[in-house]
């Protein structure tokens, strides 16, 4: 993997931002910003060999700073939502900054500048999150490692060392469009997930974990996303599409794939995480960015899909969900790999 870099502007506070280009021997390349560890582009050949950028984003830092869609961002300290912006740990209640109505969503890592270096053939980005940042307890040393292999596997490794008891849930918020334009309604999706967490009107879990059988959440047999987006299921109506936490089987593979009939591009997914948030870009047409997307495009609703591998939303407030507590001195590590091919 070859890594080059170029300036990508300065933040509103004057901090310089760098864009790193990762390129492999097969000609696939990805661009990553040290601002939010953003995956700005992923370019792969379609079935005819034409290079296709399969992720949404902006051409300028100003777009990322003013936008509301988290395009390509690494999110934490806790991905997804925490109800009421509060949770209890070790008998003490911690109050977080509400940034999604009265709830807490994702956190500030997506707007933070990380230090970057190239190590062992990977782009490594690091940041120390101080004790009390956004209300979270315990300092946390965070590392994000991006590796692009010569067989077009884009590997994302997240590592964190806790200096005090805390909660941790990291993910990446890339929006994929395997056609490079238009909507993803014709994309076919397969996921091994056999359960999902029921959501309420605020896209928060109700606490009920339900089987996917007989619901629009069942992607164990591949099917077009259009089938779900056209249904009148209440879970989809309240979100204007998919925005749901789907759970991988406890005794089976945590994997899936998506493909686009227009380009022949296929993306595979494997992860060590227990779940994945399927989101179908239901609100990108209301983006707050001061500029359009890449190439001057105004992205329409359902212009992309996210497969945000994660622990469950709001886990600190649901004891029956898998724990996201990281004790002082413990190390967190998760890996997600997106693979690309065309046929």
User: Which helix (H) or strand (E) covers residue 82, if one does?
Assistant: strand 78-82
CA distance 149 to 171: 20
Say how many Å lie between the first and final Cα of the chain, rounded.
Answer: 24
Q: Is the dihedral of CA 176, 53, 3, 36 positive or negative?
A: negative
> Are the C-beta atoms of 267 and 52 separated by less than 8 Å?
no
Please check whether residue 271 is in contact with residue 336, taking contact to mean a CB–CB distance below 8 angstroms.
yes
Hey, which residues are catalytic here?
173, 308
* The token pair that represents 33 in the structure block: 């910003």
CA distance 103 to 100: 5
Residues 67, 61, 266, CA angle at the centre, nearest 5°?
Answer: 75
């Amino acid at each position: 993997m070859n890594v080059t870099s170029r300036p990508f502007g300065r933040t509103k506070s004057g901090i310089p931002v760098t864009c790193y280009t990762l390129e492999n021997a097969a000609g696939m390349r990805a661009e990553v910003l040290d601002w939010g560890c953003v995956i700005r582009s992923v370019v792969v050949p379609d079935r005819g060999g034409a290079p296709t950028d399969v992720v949404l984003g902006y051409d300028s830092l100003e777009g990322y700073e003013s936008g509301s869609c988290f395009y390509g961002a690494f999110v934490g300290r806790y991905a997804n939502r925490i109800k009421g912006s509060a949770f209890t740990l070790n008998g003490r209640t911690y109050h977080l900054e509400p940034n999604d109505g009265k709830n807490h969503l994702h956190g500030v890592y997506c707007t933070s500048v990380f230090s970057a270096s190239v190590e062992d053939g990977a782009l490594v980005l690091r940041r120390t999150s101080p004790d009390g940042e956004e209300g979270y307890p315990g300092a946390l040393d965070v590392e994000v490692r991006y590796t692009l292999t010569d067989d077009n596997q884009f590997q994302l490794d997240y590592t964190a060392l806790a200096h005090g008891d805390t909660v941790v849930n990291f993910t990446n918020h890339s929006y994929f469009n395997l056609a490079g334009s238009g909507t993803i309604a014709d994309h076919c999706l397969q996921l091994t997930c056999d359960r999902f967490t029921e959501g309420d009107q605020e896209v928060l879990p109700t606490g009920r974990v339900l089987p996917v059988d007989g619901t629009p959440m069942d992607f164990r047999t591949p099917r077009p996303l259009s089938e779900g987006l056209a249904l009148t299921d209440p879970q989809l109506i309240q979100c204007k599409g998919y925005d749901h936490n789907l759970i991988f089987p406890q005794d089976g593979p945590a994997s899936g794939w998506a493909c686009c009939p227009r380009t022949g591009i296929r993306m595979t997914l494997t992860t060590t995480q227990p779940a994945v948030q399927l989101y179908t870009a239901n609100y990108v047409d209301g983006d707050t960015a001061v500029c359009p997307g890449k190439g001057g495009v105004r992205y329409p609703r359902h212009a992309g899909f996210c497969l945000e591998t994660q622990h469950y939303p709001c886990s600190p407030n649901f004891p029956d969900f898998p724990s996201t507590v990281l004790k002082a001195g413990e190390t967190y590590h998760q890996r997600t790999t997106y693979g690309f091919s065309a046929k």
